Structure 1
Amino acid sequence: MNIAEALRYGHVELNGSDSPDVDSRVLLCYLFDCSSSYLHAWPDKLLTEPQQTTWLALIQQRKQGQPVAYLTGQRGFWTLDLKVTADTLIPRPDTELLVALALEKLKPAMRVADLGTGSGAIALSLAAEQASAKIMAMDFSMAALQVAKENAFNHQLSNVSFWRGSWLAAIADNSLDIVVSNPPYIEANDVHLSQGDVRFEPLSALASGVDGLDDIRLIVVQALRCLKSGGWLMVEHGYDQAQQVQQLFSDAGFSDVSSRQDFGGNDRVTMGLVAV
């Protein structure tokens, strides 16, 4: 089997996927440790017997629904290539909005907490952009924190500390300048939890109570206590939750509450200020 034949096989086997050709190219690039241009330049390149065996296994795993990011063990986010495992949520492009909004407020030497850091995508992106900031990457999962630590080491980011805990329960009052979070926000009975890639992602990083807002309620209350005057809370949420999340912010006492849209035009991040 050569590269062209391998790609055709992937296309046929993955025809039930939303993106069979993209999935095939990404997996074959992973197998060859090459760029996509290599596949185009060398269509007649033969796979070795071990490569062919691995290729067939990768395609069958993807056909069964395993996310490409878990098969390759990596996902690009912001400017970083990050290790991901089944212990972490797969970073998604929409979450880059949270990074962009935080960077608009982030100044040198500020203290920032990223709640539910997972692979460290948000925390490490902020750390890479503002080297003098003090970033706290927090998660309840030790397995996820280990992945985040490895990603920080791989990108030589020394301005990040890692904390295990339940949101901000152990953090001192008035000690943070910015709190960011992509918390669980899917309704517990949402049918999408049994579809697509999310079937394989950690449920604790996805679902949060009957209305999906249990964790956001906790974060809003705790963040008001931990943020300094003039500090910002920024939380990602579902496309149809902006009004409810804005109300939670306002009820808690945040000012300048607003929601910002993702690349698809959906309200995706709500932010609020602790009044001076």
Structure 2
Amino acid sequence: MGLTLVQAWTHAKKTLEAAGLAGPVIDARLLVEAAADATRTDIVTDPYRPLSDAQEALLHDYLARRVKREPVSHILGRKGFWKIMLTVNRNVLTPRPDTEVIVDEVLKQTAERQAFSILDLGVGSGAILLAILAERPAAKGLGVDVSEEALAVARDNAAHLGLAGRVALLRGDWADGLADANFDVVVSNPPYIAAEVIETLEPEVREWEPRLALDGGPDGLDAYRRLAPEILRVLKPGGLFAVEIGYDQKDAVEALFREAGAADVRTIKDLADRHRVVAGAKKPLETGA
């Protein structure tokens, strides 16, 4: 007789623990759920349900791939972010909870039924842009990315979420070619890891994430040097921006946006109490007395 759900979970946890992987309990549960077409509730309420031979074989394949440090998101081809589920692969960054700080900030600064335009520079899987549009039904967005492969993932996600009618996706080099003062909100999660640091990252990132989305140049700030003036150029007066940063880049990135003329520049921390998002605004037009 094959493995039951609870046996499969125990086996998966032990396999991942033996391989020295962090977070084996969660990874094991996710892989068992996917392989056995089960839910977390099934594992608790029907723990002795047997896996079929095909499900057991699939689980063993998943575990072998995870032991080789392939991310769970790539094995399953999906990742939850904010309140949406996204298709992901090695052509895009796997969305992380830290990036939800951008979504949270934009939602705090906008009203539920507010009509506004939002630009996501380096849109990747579409995580930030689509999570915001899913919460703001009157908003419309443009996502720009230099990678056509990443744009294909974003298009797929927009379609599956029923948001394709409110999203345009464009291949481009940051904001090059975009009109001045055209967006109410601009967001971005650019590459910000110093080039020499990339080889020290965990294999799940170093070997599976797109280098283009990681490498921020010698000091990790190359993208911000371009983005700060460009974001201020394409924002409407009074418009908002929010960009993700590395935990130690607060002062440098704030300075770049202030030099570009931004107002109300501030840094927001993530749930781990690390500096994570620099936000601010384009100065509104002055009105005569």
- TM-score with structure 1 length normalisation? 0.96
Paired with 2:166 and 2:101, the residues of 1 have a C-alpha distance of 22
Offset at 1:191? 4.9
Q: Give the whole-Å Cα distance in 2 for the aligned partners of 1:60 and 1:185.
A: 31
Partner of 1:259: 267
Aligned residue number for residue 14 of structure 1: 16
AA matched with 2:183: L
Return 247-256 or 106-115, whichever deviates more.
106-115
> Separation in 2 of the partners of 1:21 and 1:58?
15
Query: What is the root-mean-square deviation in Å for CA atoms of aligned residues?
Result: 1.4
Deviations 1:124-174 (A, max 9, x none): 111111111121111111111111111111111121111111110120011
Give the TM-score taking structure 2 as reference length: 0.92
**Pair 1:270-2:274 in alignment:** no
Aligned residues: 276
Counterpart for residue 54 of structure 1: 58
| Between 183-192 and 246-255, the greater mean CA deviation after superposition | 183-192
> Which of 85, 102, 117 is equivalent to 1:111?
117
Superposed displacement of residue 122, structure 1: 0.6
Q: Distance in 1 between matches of 2:131 and 2:33?
A: 25
- Which amino acid in structure 1 is aligned with residue 138 of structure 2? S
**1:83 aligned partner:** 87
CA separation in 1, counterparts of 2:272 and 2:162?
Answer: 33
**Superposed displacement of residue 184, structure 1:** 0.7
Q: After TM superposition, give the deviation of residue 105 of structure 1 in Å.
A: 2.7
Question: Gapped runs of 5+ residues in structure 1?
Answer: none
Structure 1 residue 185 and structure 2 residue 189: aligned?
no
- Structure 1 distance, partners of 2:199, 2:99, is 19
Alignment of 1:127-142 (within 5 A): 127-142=133-148
Provide the residue aligned with 1:95 in structure 2. 99
User: Is residue 175 of structure 1 aligned with residue 182 of structure 2?
Assistant: yes
CA separation of 1:211 and 1:116: change in aligned 2, threshold 3 A: same
Tell me the equivalent position of 1:152: 158
Give the AA of the match of 2:145.
Answer: D
Measured in 1, the distance between the counterparts of 2:86 and 2:37 equals 16
Contiguous gaps of at least 5 residues in structure 2: 285-289
Decide whether the 8 Å contact of 2:198 with 2:215 is kept in 1. no
Name the residue aligned to 1:218: 226
2:287 corresponds to = none
Q: 2:5 aligns with which of 3, 6, 9?
A: 3
Measure how far apart 1:2 and its partner are: 2.2
Rounded to whole Å, the distance in 2 between the matches of 1:34 and 1:188 is 41
**Does the Cα contact within 8 Å between 2:141 and 2:166 map onto a contact in 1?**
yes
The separation in 1 between residues aligned to 2:184 and 2:48, in whole angstroms, is 56
Q: Counterpart of 2:33 in structure 1: which amino acid? A: C
Indicate the percent of aligned positions where both proteins have the same amino acid.
37
CA contact (8 A) 2:12 2:32 kept: no
* 1:206 shift after superposition: 1.1
Q: CA deviation at 1:193?
A: 5.0
- Superposed CA offset, 1:88-114 (max 9, x none): 111111111101111223352211101
Matched to 1:171, the amino acid is L
User: Aligned partners of 2:243 and 2:256: how far apart in 1?
Assistant: 11
Equivalent in 54, 70, 73 of residue 69 of structure 1: 73
- Displacement of 1:214 in angstroms is 0.5
Aligned counterparts of 1:95 and 1:262: Cα–Cα separation in 2: 8
Distance, in Å, in 2 between the alignment partners of 1:226 and 1:34 is: 47
Partner of 1:163: 170
Partner amino acid for 1:242?
A: K
Give the match's secondary structure for 2:69.
coil
1:19-38 matched pairs, under 5 angstroms: 19-38=23-42
Q: Report if aligned partners of 2:123, 2:145 keep a CA contact under 8 Å in 1.
A: yes
Aligned residue type for 1:41? T
